[in-house]
């Protein structure tokens, strides 16, 4: 290991520091104290989970480059996270939400996939230096996050070999642009009746949807027992191990048989590990294992995810965020294309504003934000945001990779 000037070099101590930091962020974010309520009204907790560890790294308290925590988190915790978040998918329940809900969700996904390369072309025509070089690689992190979530973003970081400093800038673009858009969606929630009436939207399905969601929640929620948690851990880490068992030799075989496929990341063992983990999670969601969501399978997955988030953050240098502010313009153009497609589709289908807002945030914000937007329409609808968001986790790996390939072609 190379020498480092960091104050803390023991990974056990670093892990303890990161865990304590995450605990402090969540404790304060749930506090009823007026200061914290006002603070988190404007500063998202997820942003702090990334950037407090980045501050530790920037000011020399720890050395993210020398620590092995990110390697362990990305190779072991990330695949298990993908399994547990994907395990929550209940495809019949999602289909019962109706074709309009799925249409708006998938329109949002398409908006992210085509919005990335279009934003690169538009901003590149105005300011070529802003999107030059390997910038497209960094933007794949935004694509992974905006289609799926943090786990998919981390997957894109590895699959497309995004440098740490560039990744730090992209996290800022992702979080800031996404939260501004979330504020717009919350305003739409507050004005939903006026917006729906102006478009002549058919809102009759919302009442039936609310009833189904309340029944689903009652039938599945339970206090997890030790056995539940052990089974959840067994499935998550067991399928993680199976993903390594199959993915590593598969990548090696492809590299020997067709080395030219490296440009599509098909020779990357990490690519196959995350794809297989997502696929195994999807398969498991059609088995009785999906009932473990009632015991908190996705919450366990999110615990693992936030450890990964912190380990990513500790590799960032905050100063790098300000090296290319023009990238925020790329994010704004990108989210505008996403929004334009959604508005066109919601007008075409005469769909309620609820479907637009939740379909969008299930992509852009994921399982952390989609329930917030859904509950702004009605508290009982929060699980609908979760259902669509976990579908985004399933698509995030595939969609992020596709967007990356389109952006690579757009810059050639």
Estimate the crossing angle of helix 45-58 against helix 11-29, to 10 degrees.
150
- The continuous run of DSSP H or E covering 203 comes out as none
Please give the pLDDT value at position 379. 62
Q: What is the dihedral of CA 275, 280, 281, 286, to 10 degrees?
A: 140
Question: Could you tell me where the DSSP H helices lie in 129-225?
Answer: 135-147, 150-159, 164-190, 192-199, 204-220
DSSP 131: G
Q: What is the pLDDT of residues 140-188, one digit of tens each?
A: 999 998 998 777 888 888 888 888 878 888 888 888 888 788 888 888 8
Please give the pLDDT value at position 175. 80
Tell me if residue 99 falls in helix, strand or coil.
helix
Q: How far is CA 355 from the centre of its chain?
A: 19
pLDDT band at 312 (very low <50, low <70, confident <90, very high): confident
Is the pLDDT at 395 greater than 60? The verdict is: yes
Structural tokens at position 310: 């912190």
- How many helices and strands in the chain, by DSSP H and E? 19, 0
Q: What is the residue-averaged pLDDT of the chain?
A: 85
DSSP 297: H
Contact 150, 309 (CB under 8 A): yes
Per-domain residue ranges of the chain: 11-410
Please give the pLDDT value at position 96. 65
Contact 389, 362 (CB under 8 A): yes
Give dist(CA 338, CA 323) in Å, integer: 26
Number of neighbouring beta carbons within 10 Å of residue 28: 16
Radius of gyration of the chain, Cα coordinates, nearest whole angstrom: 21
pTM greater than the 0.75 cutoff: no
Is the pLDDT at 380 greater than 60? The verdict is: no
pLDDT band at 1 (very low <50, low <70, confident <90, very high): very low
- 377-407 burial: b if 16+ Cβ within 10 Å, else e: bbebbbbbbbbbbbbbbbbbbbbbbbbbbbb
Give dist(CA 274, CA 154) in Å, integer: 10
Q: Minimal CA–CA distance to 116: which of 302, 354, 334, 373?
A: 334
- The continuous run of DSSP H or E covering 57 comes out as helix 45-58
Q: What is the pLDDT of residues 22-57, one digit of tens each?
A: 999 999 999 999 999 999 887 778 778 888 998 999
Give dist(CA 169, CA 10) in Å, integer: 27
Q: What is the pLDDT of residues 195-227, one digit of tens each?
A: 888 888 877 777 776 676 567 667 777 889 999
If one compares 141 and 377, the residue with the highest pLDDT of the two is 141
């Amino acid at each position: 290991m190379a020498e480092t000037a960091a104050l803390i070099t023991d990974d056990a101590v670093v892990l303890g520091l990161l865990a304590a930091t995450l605990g402090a962020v969540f404790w304060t974010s749930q506090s009823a104290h007026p200061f914290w309520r006002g603070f988190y009204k404007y500063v998202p907790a997820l942003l702090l989970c990334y950037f407090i560890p980045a501050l530790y790294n920037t000011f020399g308290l720890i050395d993210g480059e020398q620590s092995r925590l990110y390697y362990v988190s990305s190779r072991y915790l990330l695949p298990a996270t993908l399994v547990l978040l994907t395990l929550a998918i209940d495809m019949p329940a999602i289909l019962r939400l109706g074709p309009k809900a799925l249409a708006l969700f998938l329109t949002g996904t398409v908006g992210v996939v085509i919005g990335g390369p279009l934003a690169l072309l538009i901003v590149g025509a105005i300011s070529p230096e802003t999107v030059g070089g390997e910038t497209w690689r960094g933007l794949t992190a935004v694509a992974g996050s905006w289609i799926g979530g943090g786990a998919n973003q981390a997957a894109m970081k590895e699959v497309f070999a995004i440098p740490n400093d560039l990744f730090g800038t992209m996290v800022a673009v992702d979080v800031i642009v996404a939260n501004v858009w979330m504020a717009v969606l919350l305003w739409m929630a507050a004005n939903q009746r006026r917006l729906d009436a102006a478009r002549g939207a058919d809102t009759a399905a919302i009442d039936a949807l609310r009833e189904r969601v309340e029944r689903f929640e009652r039938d599945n929620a339970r206090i997890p027992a030790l056995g539940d948690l052990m089974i959840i851990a067994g499935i998550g880490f067991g399928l993680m191990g199976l993903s390594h068992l199959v993915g590593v030799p598969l990548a090696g075989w492809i590299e020997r048989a067709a080395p030219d496929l490296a440009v599509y990341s098909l020779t990357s063992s990490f690519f196959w590990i995350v794809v297989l983990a997502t696929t195994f999670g999807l398969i498991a969601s059609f088995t009785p294992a999906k009932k473990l969501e009632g015991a908190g399978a996705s919450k366990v997955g999110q615990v693992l995810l936030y450890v990964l988030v912190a380990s990513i953050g500790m590799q960032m240098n905050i100063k790098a965020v300000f090296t290319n502010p023009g990238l925020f313009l790329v994010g704004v153009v990108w989210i505008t294309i996403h929004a334009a497609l959604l508005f066109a589709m919601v007008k075409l289908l005469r769909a309620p504003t609820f479907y637009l807002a939740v379909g969008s945030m299930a992509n852009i914000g994921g399982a952390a934000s989609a329930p917030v937007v859904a509950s702004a329409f009605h508290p009982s609808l929060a699980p609908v945001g979760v259902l669509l968001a976990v579908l985004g986790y399933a698509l995030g790996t595939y969609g992020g990779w596709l967007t990356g390939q389109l952006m690579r072609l757009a810059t050639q």
